[in-house]
C-alpha cells in the first residue's frame, strides 16, 4: 500500500512518516506545501511531493498513484474548516478511496460531560473557536466522503504528546520557570495519547474493512490525571512537584475588544466578502484594529524583577476541569486498536527526547 501523509512536516505528520517508513510495511509519500518544509521528511529516501491542502488540483496531483491518504495538516480556524472539502475532492480525483482524517477530541470540548462518546451529538457553541472549527471540519469531511464515495475515518485524539510535542517542551519550560500550575489537587483527567499510539490507530484505520468507516475517539490506556502528568515530568527533570502553583478556583476568561474584533474579521461572513473589499477600506480597518490592541504601560523606573506568574491559558483551564475519561472502546472493538506504549514509558521517551534536544544527553 502506498500512503500519502498530508502535513508531513508537523509534529504528528513527522512521526507518521518515520514509523511508516521505518516499519517497512508500506510505501509512504510525504506531502508538504512547500519545499522548505522537507527538512525532516527528506532525511529518508522517499518520493516526497508538493501539494497545497487548500487547493484541490494541487493536492490531487500530489496524491496521484497513492492507495490511501492520512490528513495531518494544521491551520487556523478558517483553514481547518476549508481543508476537508478540498481533501475529499482531491482524493476522489486521484482515485484514492481510503482517507484518514485527524480530527480532535476537542469536538466534545476540553471538559466533556460524563458519558460522552462518539454517539454524543456535536455542537458549535464551545468557548474556543478551535473546537467549533474542528466540529465544522469533521462534518465537512463526512459530507465530502459521502459525496465522493470515500471510506472516511476521522480519529479524535485528545492531548497528543511525545517527542517534539509542545505539551512536553512547554511544560518543561513552565516547570523550570516556576510558571506551571494545577487546578485544585490536579485531579482533573488528562485525556492524552502518546504520539506512537496515535500512529498505531492510524495504521489500524488504514487496514480496517470499509464498513468500519466512521469517527473514533482514541486515547491511552488507563486514567491519568493532570497531577500525574505534571508530577512525572517534574521529577524526571529533577524538580520538586510541590513547587507547582495551585489554583483554588478556575479563572474566567473574557475576550478583549481586539480579540472580539479579530474574531469578527476571521468569521465566515467577513471572509466571504473580503476579496471584493477595496484596499483603502482594508487599510482603514487594520488601523482600527491597531487602536484596539492593549498598550503595555511604560516602566516608571528601576525595580526588582517580578516573580513569574503562572502561565494560565483558557485551553488548559478547561482541560484541567475535565472529569471524564473519554473511551476508546469503539476503536478497540471495530479497528483492533491497542495502545502499545504505556504512560510511564511514553513519558520516559518524551523526556529523553527533550534531554537530547537540549544537548543534555
Q: Strand locations in the chain, DSSP E?
A: 2-6, 27-32, 49-50, 68-71, 98-102, 151-157, 159-161, 181-183, 192-194, 214-218, 245-247
CATH of residue 8: 3.40.50.720
Rounded mean pLDDT, 158-183: 96
8 Å CB contact between 241 and 235:
yes
Q: Per the domain annotation, does 33 fall within a domain?
A: yes
- Whether 14 is covered by a domain: the verdict is yes
Q: Which pLDDT score is estimated for 69? A: 98
**Mean pLDDT across the stretch 338-346?**
97
Which cell goes with 33?
506545501
Give me 52's grid cell.
Answer: 497545497
Lowest mean pLDDT among 158-162, 181-185, 303-307: 303-307
Q: What is the pLDDT of residues 55-88, one digit of tens each?
A: 999 999 999 999 999 999 999 999 999 999 999 9
Asked whether residue 77 falls in the same domain as residue 198, the answer is yes
∠ CA 22-25-28, nearest 5°, is 65
Looking at the predicted structure, is the pLDDT value of residue 296 above 50? Answer: no
Q: What confidence tier does 259 reach under pLDDT thresholds 50, 70, 90?
A: very low
pTM of the predicted model over 0.75: yes
Return the pLDDT at 360: 74
Assess whether pLDDT exceeds 70 at residue 355: yes
Could you tell me how many residues make up the chain?
Answer: 361
Q: How many domains does the chain have?
A: 2
Band of the pLDDT at 284, cuts 50, 70, 90?
low
Does residue 174 fall inside a structural domain?
A: no
Residues 25 and 159 in one domain: yes
What does the pLDDT read at residue 83? Answer: 97
- Model confidence pLDDT, tens digit, residues 135-156: 999 999 999 999 999 999 999 9
- The model's pLDDT over 210-245, given as tens digits with 9 standing for 90+, comes to 999 999 999 999 999 999 999 999 999 999 999 999
Q: Quick check: 302 pLDDT over 70?
A: no
Q: Is the pLDDT of residue 25 over 80?
A: no
For the chain, give the mean pLDDT: 89
Instruction: For residues 208 and 265, state if they share a domain.
Output: no
**Parent domain of 77:** 2-165+190-222+324-340
Establish if 331 belongs to a structural domain: yes
Amino acid at each position: 500500500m502506498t500512503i500519502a501523509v498530508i502535513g508531513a512536516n508537523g509534529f504528528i505528520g513527522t512521526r507518521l512518516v518515520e514509523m511508516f517508513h521505518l516499519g517497512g510495511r508500506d510505501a509512504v509519500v510525504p506531502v508538504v506545501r512547500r519545499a522548505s518544509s522537507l527538512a525532516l521528511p527528506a532525511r529518508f529516501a522517499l518520493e516526497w511531493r508538493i501539494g497545497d491542502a487548500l487547493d484541490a488540483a494541487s493536492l490531487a496531483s500530489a496524491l496521484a498513484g497513492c492507495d490511501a491518504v492520512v490528513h495531518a495538516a494544521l491551520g487556523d480556524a478558517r483553514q481547518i474548516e476549508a481543508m476537508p472539502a478540498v481533501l475529499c475532492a482531491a482524493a476522489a480525483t486521484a482515485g484514492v478511496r481510503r482517507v484518514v482524517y485527524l480530527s480532535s477530541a476537542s469536538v466534545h470540548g476540553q471538559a466533556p460531560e460524563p458519558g460522552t462518546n462518539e454517539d454524543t451529538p456535536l455542537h458549535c457553541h464551545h468557548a474556543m473557536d478551535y473546537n467549533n472549527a474542528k466540529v465544522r471540519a469533521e462534518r465537512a469531511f463526512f459530507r465530502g466522503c459521502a459525496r465522493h464515495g470515500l471510506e472516511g475515518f476521522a480519529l479524535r485524539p485528545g492531548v497528543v504528546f511525545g517527542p517534539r510535542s509542545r505539551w512536553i517542551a512547554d511544560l518543561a519550560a513552565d516547570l523550570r520557570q516556576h510558571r506551571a500550575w494545577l487546578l485544585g489537587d490536579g485531579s482533573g483527567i488528562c485525556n492524552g495519547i502518546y504520539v506512537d499510539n496515535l500512529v498505531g490507530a492510524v495504521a489500524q484505520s488504514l487496514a480496517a474493512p470499509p464498513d468500519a468507516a466512521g469517527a473514533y475517539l482514541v486515547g491511552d490506556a488507563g486514567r491519568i490525571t493532570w497531577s500525574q502528568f505534571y508530577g512525572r515530568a517534574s521529577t524526571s527533570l529533577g524538580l520538586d512537584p510541590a513547587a507547582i502553583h495551585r489554583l483554588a478556583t478556575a479563572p474566567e476568561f473574557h475576550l478583549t475588544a481586539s480579540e472580539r474584533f479579530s474574531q469578527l474579521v476571521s468569521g465566515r461572513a467577513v471572509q466571504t466578502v473580503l476579496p471584493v473589499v477595496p484596499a483603502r477600506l482594508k487599510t482603514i480597518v487594520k488601523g482600527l484594529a491597531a487602536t484596539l490592541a492593549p498598550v503595555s504601560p511604560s516602566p516608571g523606573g528601576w525595580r526588582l524583577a517580578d516573580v513569574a506568574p503562572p502561565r494560565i491559558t483558557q485551553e488548559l483551564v478547561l482541560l484541567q476541569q475535565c472529569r471524564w475519561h473519554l473511551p476508546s472502546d469503539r476503536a478497540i472493538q471495530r479497528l483492533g486498536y491497542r495502545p502499545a506504549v504505556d504512560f510511564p514509558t511514553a513519558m520516559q521517551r518524551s523526556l529523553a527526547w527533550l534531554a537530547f534536544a537540549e544537548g543534555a544527553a
